Amino acid sequence: MTTILLVIHLLLAIALVGMVLLQRSEGGGLGIGGGGGAAGGGLFTTKETANLLTRTTAILAACFMATSLTLAILANQSSEPRSILDAEEPITPPQVPLEPAAPTVPSAPLGE
């Protein structure tokens, strides 16, 4: 469930960035070209395009926030809190002898 929601969240983020980049800073979204099609009754006028992009951006932003909250809630509802500090068994370092060990003498001759 979390993986599917995370993929949807990522796609919403990419779409939201795209919608914001399509808008012009003056509010005339997709007004590239200087008005060649606006006088001839094109598909969208500048105002209609701005309204469409604004509504689409608002819907994407609302969905993005909803998935963010849902992911936060799902992350918080884990079965047990896990921490690396709360280990089952404490890890003990290997014991180092304080004095060097006596050298060992081989029990058999080494090949004379």
Q: How many beta carbons lie within 10 A of that of residue 27, not counting itself?
A: 13
d(CA 6, CA 70): 10
Percent over 70 (pLDDT), the chain: 58
Is the overall model pTM greater than 0.85, yes or no?
Answer: no
- Helix, strand or coil, per DSSP, at residue 112: coil
- Tens of pLDDT, residues 68-100: 999 999 888 866 666 667 666 666 777 776 776
d(CA 67, CA 64): 5
